[in-house]
Structure 1
Amino acid sequence: MKRRFFYPMLFIAVITASPLHAQDGIGTAVLDELVVTATLSETPLDRIPAAVEVIGKEEIAEMGASTLQQVLTEAQGVVLEVASGRMSTAGLRGLGSSRTLVLIDGMRLPTGFQDKADMGEIPVSFIERIEIVRGPVSALYGSEAIGGVINVITRKPSDKPLAWFGAQYGESRNGEAAGTLFDGGVSGREGRLGYVLTGSFSDKERFDFDQEDWKTDGDDKKIGAGAAMFTWDFGDGTDLAAGVTYADVDRYGVRPKRQTEHDWRNRSGRFTGMVSLRTVLAPESVLFFRASRSEYDWGVTLTPLENTMLPTPAHALLESEIHDVDQVTDQYEARWTGKLLNSHKLTAGIEYRTEERQEDGVSSEIDNLGLFLQDEVSVTGRLRAILGLRFDDHSGFGSVYSPRIGVTCQLTDYLRLRGAYAEGFRAPSAFELYSGSPYTVQRILVPNPDLDPETSRTWEVGADIEHGALRVNLTAFRNDIDDMIAEVFTGRYEGTRPAIPVNEMRNIAETMTRGIEVSLGLDLGCGFFLSDELSLLDGENRDTGEELLYIPDVSNVLKLSYGSHDIGFSGNVRLVTTGSQYTGGEEKNGSYSLVNVFASQSLTTGARLFAGVDNLFDRMAGEGYGNVYGPGSSGMFVYGGVRLNL
């Protein structure tokens, strides 16, 4: 394995984060922001011994993004991977999407084909903010939270009546990939009733730069989505909430299969509904109950196009090929948060979850009971610790404990140190155990019913500096995973030309990932702000010494932004870099960088025009990067629109 970059870059990162770079007289503060994902209760960032990123709706708007996938391309530590069906999945710290838990308002997002959650199916219209916790959180969330958690938090009822509407249009430099986006909503309160209703529709046309490869480079894609939440304040510290989110996605394109062009159609529907009750028992003592159901239906149909058939065996001239997935997840949870002896903030909870899944006729059911306890301890005014332990009883794989300990120390007014150790686990999915993928263009994947669960150990240390206008966050981490579930090449199927690789799901005895994350923010004055988010990653199969797939050796987002309330103008320039990585076998994709620009201008207090260019220099990125339907695949993309607040 190539290690030559790691230790020199560690030295550079440590020097970058040292107090010698702090400057006097200029200031910005972010550590007093409250987040909920890392501890399950509102907690200031400066009390959390973990690397946390918060992306608000204003920042999302200034990306010109329409889906969660586009937002995550510029999030630190997030690695996007392309999956079958041109899904784009998100993993944290090089641990893959199966080890990253994706939530909507704290509820698990059901997975689709091949047990993947497609980030391109989730519109941004109902998102209030996104909280990303990098590092294991299995002590709170159980399985799949080894790499971290991405929590999409939807809009909540506003105190004052609000209404908004937005429209956007864009297309690539070649006139392809034309897309329209409309979204709107209302929010407010009437007496004790709070409400928020949002809806959106987007339509993006296909693009095809290579007319001879039997496939469209990008497919026609339509997304209709909506969300609603209603709350009732009983007036005695008790609140009732009920909400739903929904997205319907249609995609059309062309795919090659068995030496024949096929019309490819994919449709999916995602629904989540919940009801919750929150009651304040005493000052700083809160009970919370929630019941939720998430449903996901996914299907694809491949129909041969007869007029494009090449000479081929008769068995290939069959009727349409159909794949489908149905998954239903029910979750019931209760937790209490309260103070004990003034120095302890306790969170205790119970969670029961059932999952029913059917994929291409293969059915599976699991249930999981989880119990957890967390203690946020104020040892002194400057020293705090978080101790957590979760017990899970999984119907298929028995019982497991997941501990976590984290410590933060405010060493000086400008410097905070933190460290953490955690253990986690991941149970094999039904796809890995039973379904597999009998035939795709890329490979045959054989399931393995004898898989064991994964277990992980993570060490993490970090430092946070705020001095004047300068903010620097540094994190170094290492993940050791035993029995990692991965695809292992076993040979080639000779029944096709060219022969297709055959992989089998197997446990790898020992694997490791490690990295350095550096985040920097600097207020330059006069409305200008500079930020940079750098991640260095390294991963190894310790059985063979080979590098792991889908781990870019470097990723970086450099952003220069400007805003002026006096003239109502704001804008930014973003340089997004993704390093080289292995995407299969011995194939290694090279690094690439994209330049994105955005500008907006207020016309009145309630109207704003905006425009932007993604991939300004028309750089093309390979499919292996998971940049599906993004500017790296469609080339330079120019867009503009209007936003109205009524």
Structure 2
Amino acid sequence: MRKKNLIWLFSVPFSLSTLCAAEVPKHYVMDETVVTATLTETPLKSVPAAMEVIDREEVQESGAMTLHQVLTEAQSVNLEAVSGRQSTARLRGLNSSNTLVLIDGMRLPSGFQDKVDLAEIPAGWIEKIEIVRGPSSALYGSDAIGGVINIITRKPTGEPEAWLNTRYGSNTEGEAEATSFDAGISATSGDFGYAVSGSFSDKGRVDEDLTDGFTDADDKKVKAGAATLTWQLGKDAELVAGVTYADVEREGLRFKNKKEQEWMNGSERSTGRVEFRSALGEDSSILLRAYRSVYDWGVTLTPISAGNPEAHAVDQTTDQFEARWAGRVFGSHKVTTGIEYRTEDREEDGLRSEIENLGVFLQDEVSITGRLSAILGLRFDDHSSFGSVYSPRVSARYQLNDELRLRGTYAEGFRAPSAFELYTGSDYTKRRILRPNPDLDPETSRTWEVGADFENDLFLLSVTAFRNDVDNMISEVFSGQFEGTIPIHESCNISEAMTQGVEVTARVSLGSGFSIHDELTVLDGENKTSGKALAYVPDVSNVLKLSYRDSAHGFSGNVRLVTLGGQYTDAESSVKADAYTLVNFSLSKSLTSHAKLYAGVDNIFDELVEDGYGNVYGPGSTGMFMYGGIGLNL
């Protein structure tokens, strides 16, 4: 029996009176290098922005099969289920269209309903994930008002390496059975390097009510592969080619047009890139890159009793060409500049549209004194649908001492209306009909954030306050009904909207291998035109993790409490889903230096999450879920 009692457990660990010496897990130290925030390799502690890095080990221990499942415990990332059983990410309460999702720095084209479905991206691709929370339009242009999620895939290694991971799991009722594996090889031989991987996952449906004509979660199969090849052209130059491919099949039941129907959905997502990198002396480098991202989506509804099938299709292709230079100027200035040209070609149920964008950006990372540094950035975009726009950014970081630093940012950004919003819209959905609007203006934003970070060998505390003011926010507005039952919405510009909040991250080493990690976000969002709360903006979210690690004996484990506050789940902000807390557990044991067993339980107390969230294999959607697996590294 699932429990409906809400466990309100969220806290920020404060300094303890006694701290024993202990091994500090590597992800507790901010010495690692990141690239997403500045487009150059920069130590995490030197970035004047709120960032989170999730590495391959954390992904494996979580038991996640998809990117969607990995991000359920990321700070200030709220997942929204949308039509077509898709899952999208919202950063800091802003729409998923304001969160830019990249693979190895490349944009992913949107699919059905103009969304990037995170549940289609396999966890086996992931080397690490870099999440930049906060405005990034000064570097990336459109779609990065809320931030950037960059999935970095595995790269060639110096020594030969091979890996195999396999996992099985199901809920306590024998539903949602899941089997997955991923395998790959990586090496460098002379001037040539390669990394090749493949993965497969198969997860069964969940159907809690056999009489309603709906499956609560569908049968789902994902076949995917990725490859990166490198060729060293002399001492300072490198040619890189890479591809990714994912094929997703879903089957389930839907009740539409007063009939029970068999729902079959298939999609293919692929990317291909060629890039040239070269050092120009000791202090500068260039990057030339061309890539194509393609997304094909199709669905067929076939009445079980009698009637003609209904079919819909979406195809979108994104091509981008870019050139970038980074180098030292006058000693204290680290300058990055670049130019991008991008086309987006979309066809949905026979309606075709194309968008072009030219972007030019300049960024200066300047060291003002030994303690004070700043980042000045400006980007110009010329868009085929609405004209040109500038996106400035000013960030500063001040190192008070070896353990405490302050940071702040002011930035302006924009989001161009998509081809889907301008020209195609969608009639295929049970929930609503969405009409396009060719008169849409771009969204523009003004964002500020201030923060402080304290860190030593045993303790880390990071606090960030932020506010986003968005003009002309594009949102769905109710405009009538079809056949008296199906609401008709139109994409419209809301005059003004706002999100604001506070993020707190704390990590404490307790000694004897134990540590506590807490990520708390308090959030508020408002449609300033109507005065109503924004949808999918939870008032609080928190992940509290107690971890244990014994490297000498190869044992590790953790207990995680995941809390999500109440939030509205419809465009009119009339349906509010209650808050919930889930308790998850995982452990792993190294059998040898090359083999590891791991197991876990998600939603230990079988908490029932309200249907209003529309979770698709999301938190709580399958009840208590148990899994186990083995990982081999050779």
Q: TM-score, normalised by structure 1?
A: 0.94
Q: Which residue of 1 aligns with 2:347?
A: 358
2:19, 2:511 within 8 Å by CA — same for their partners in 1? Answer: no
| Pair 1:482-2:471 in alignment | yes
User: Does residue 496 of structure 2 align to residue 510 of structure 1?
Assistant: yes
Q: Which residue of 2 aligns with 1:4?
A: none
Q: 411-420 or 50-59: which moved more?
A: 411-420
Residue matched to 1:547: 533
- Hey, what's the Cα distance between the residues in 2 that align with 1:248 and 1:623? 28
Which residue does 1:461 correspond to in 2?
450
Name 2:518's counterpart in structure 1.
532
| Amino acid of the structure 2 residue aligned with 1:523 | S
Instruction: State the shift of 1:437 in Å.
Output: 2.4
Q: Number of paired residues?
A: 619
Residue 323 of structure 1 deviates from its aligned partner by: 0.9
Q: Is the 8 A contact 1:105 1:153 kept in 2?
A: yes
**How far 1:414 moved relative to its partner?**
1.7
- What residue in structure 1 maps to residue 431 of structure 2? 442
User: CA separation in 2, counterparts of 1:188 and 1:154?
Assistant: 15
Q: Aligned in 2, Cα 1:618/1:55: closer, same or farther, shift over 3 Å?
A: same
Distance 2:405 2:185 in 1: 41
Query: C-alpha offsets along residues 556-590 of structure 1, whole Å, 9 cap, x if unaligned?
Result: 11111111122111111111111100011311000
Show CA shifts across 1:234-291 (max 9, x none). 2320011101011000000000101100100000000000011110111121111111
**Kept after mapping to 2: 8 A contact 1:444/1:503:** yes
Distance 2:150 2:428 in 1: 33
Contact 2:166 2:180 in 1 (8 A): yes
CA separation of 1:545 and 1:395: change in aligned 2, threshold 3 A: same
Asked if residue 630 in structure 1 is aligned to residue 618 in structure 2, the reply is yes
Q: Secondary structure at the match of 2:346?
A: strand
Query: Shift of the alpha carbon at 1:25?
Result: 7.7
> Which stretch shows the higher mean deviation, 481-490 or 621-630?
621-630
Q: Secondary structure at the match of 1:632?
A: coil
Q: CA deviation at 1:624?
A: 4.0
Contact 2:365 2:375 in 1 (8 A): yes
Equivalent residue letter for 1:515 = G
CA distance, structure 2, for counterparts of residue 236 and residue 595 of structure 1: 51
User: What does residue 392 of structure 2 align with?
Assistant: 403
8 Å Cα contact 2:94/2:146 also seen in 1: yes
Distance in structure 1 (CA, Å) of the matches to 2:181 and 2:427: 39
C-alpha deviation, 1:180, in angstroms: 0.4
Q: The residue matched to 1:183 in structure 2 has which SS? A: strand
Instruction: Kindly provide the amino acid, as one letter, of the partner of residue 88 in structure 1.
Output: S
Which residue pairs with 1:60 in the alignment? 59
**1:24 and 1:467 in contact (8 A); partners too:** no
- SS in structure 1 of the partner of residue 422 of structure 2: helix
C-alpha distance 617-575 of structure 1, shift in aligned 2 (>3 A): same
Distance in 2, Cα, partners of 1:376 & 1:26: 37
* 1:613 is aligned to 2:615: no
* Cα shift at 1:630: 2.9
Query: How many angstroms apart in 2 are the aligned matches of 1:467 and 1:225?
Result: 41
CA distance in 1, matches of 2:41, 2:615: 33
Q: Which moved more, 1:402-411 or 1:232-241?
A: 232-241
Q: Identify the residue that residue 4 of structure 2 maps to in structure 1.
A: none
Partner Cα distance (1:254, 1:262) in 2 = 6
Once structures 1 and 2 are overlaid, which stretch shifts more, 131-140 or 436-445? 436-445
Q: CA deviation at 1:184?
A: 0.5
Q: CA deviation at 1:612?
A: 0.7
Aligned partner letter, 2:347: Q
1:573 & 1:217 partners in 2: Cα distance?
27
In structure 2, the CA distance between the partners of 1:202 and 1:398, relative to structure 1 (3 Å rule), is same
- Structure 2 counterparts to residues 543-622 of structure 1, below 5 A: 543-584=529-570, 585=572, 586-622=574-610
Residue 632 of structure 1, CA deviation: 1.1
Deviation at residue 17 of structure 1 after TM alignment: 9.9
Structure 1 partner of 2:5:
none
Structure 1's unaligned 5+ residue stretches are 1-11, 307-316
Q: Which residue type is aligned with residue 542 of structure 1? A: K
SS at the partner of 2:621? helix
Letter in 2 for 1:368: N
- Residue 567 of structure 1 aligns to a residue whose secondary structure is coil
- The answer to whether residue 324 in structure 2 is matched with residue 335 in structure 1 is yes
- Give the drift of 1:552: 0.6
The 5 Å alignment of 1:168-317 reads 168-306=167-305
2:326/2:334 contact within 8 Å kept: yes
Deviation at 1:623, TM superposition (A): 4.3
Percent identity among equivalent residues?
Answer: 62
Listed one character per residue, the Cα deviations across residues 461-504 of structure 1 (whole Å, up to 9, x for unaligned) are: 000001341101110000000000001122333x25xx222222
Q: What letter corresponds to residue 399 of structure 1 in structure 2? A: S
Determine the C-alpha separation between the residues in 2 that align with 1:224 and 1:439. 26
Give the TM-score normalised by structure 2. 0.95
SS in 1 for 2:591: strand
Distance 2:418 2:489 in 1: 17
Superposition deviation, residue 438 in structure 1: 2.2
Deviation at 1:620, TM superposition (A): 2.2
1:25-80 CA distance string (max 9 Å, x none): 86856232210000001011222111010000011111000100000100001011
User: Is residue 643 from structure 1 mapped to residue 631 from structure 2 by the alignment?
Assistant: yes
Asked whether the equivalents of residues 26 and 468 of structure 1 are also in contact (C-alpha less than 8 Å), the reply is no
Contact 2:345 2:354 in 1 (8 A): yes
> Match for 1:92: what amino acid?
L
Shift of 1:626: 5.5
TM-fit CA distance, 1:622:
3.0
Helix, strand or coil: the match of 1:548? Answer: coil
Equivalents in 2 of 1:395, 1:123: separation in Å? 34
Residues 188-207 of structure 1 show CA distances to partners (whole Å, capped at 9, x for unaligned) of 11111111010000000111
Separation of aligned partners in 2, 1:23 and 1:569: 24
Q: Distance in 2 between matches of 1:590 and 1:320?
A: 37
**CA deviation after TM superposition for structure 1 residue 143, in Å:** 0.3
In the TM superposition, residue 318 of structure 1 has moved relative to its aligned partner by 4.2
Secondary structure at the counterpart of residue 547 of structure 1 = coil
**Structure 1 residues 441 and 127: alpha-carbon distance in aligned structure 2, compared to 1, 3 A threshold:** same
1:522 is matched with: 508
**AA partner of residue 507 (structure 1):** N
1:422 counterpart = 2:411? yes
Q: In the aligned structure 2, how far is the partner of 1:544 from the partner of 1:604?
A: 61
Q: In 2, distance between residues paired with 1:323 and 1:168?
A: 34
CA distance in 1, matches of 2:583, 2:139: 38
- Report if the CA contact (8 A) 1:22-1:470 is conserved: no
Task: Give the whole-Å Cα distance in 2 for the aligned partners of 1:460 and 1:477.
Answer: 4
What is the rounded CA distance, in whole Å, between the counterparts of 2:199 and 2:235 in structure 1? Answer: 36
Amino acid at match of 1:319: N
Check the 8 A contact 1:110/1:296 in 2, yes or no. Answer: yes
> How far apart, in 2, do the equivalents of 1:274 and 1:23 lie?
52
Kindly provide the amino acid, as one letter, of the partner of residue 100 in structure 1: T
Counterpart secondary structure, 1:62: helix
The answer on whether the counterparts of 2:262 and 2:302 sit within 8 Å (CA) in structure 1 is yes
One-letter amino acid of the structure 2 residue matched with residue 150 of structure 1: I
Coordinate RMSD, CA, aligned: 1.7
Map of 1:102 onto structure 2: 101
Deviations 1:332-388 (A, max 9, x none): 111011001110000010111111110111111011110000000000111000000
Runs of 5+ consecutive residues of structure 2 not aligned to the other structure: 1-9
CA distance 1:100–1:595, change in 2 (3 Å): same
Q: CA contact under 8 A between 2:226 and 2:243: conserved in structure 1?
A: yes
Q: Structure 2: how far apart are the matches of 1:237 and 1:23?
A: 50
Alpha-carbon contact 1:276-1:288 (below 8 Å) kept: yes
Contact 1:55–1:129 (CA<8 Å) still a contact in 2? yes
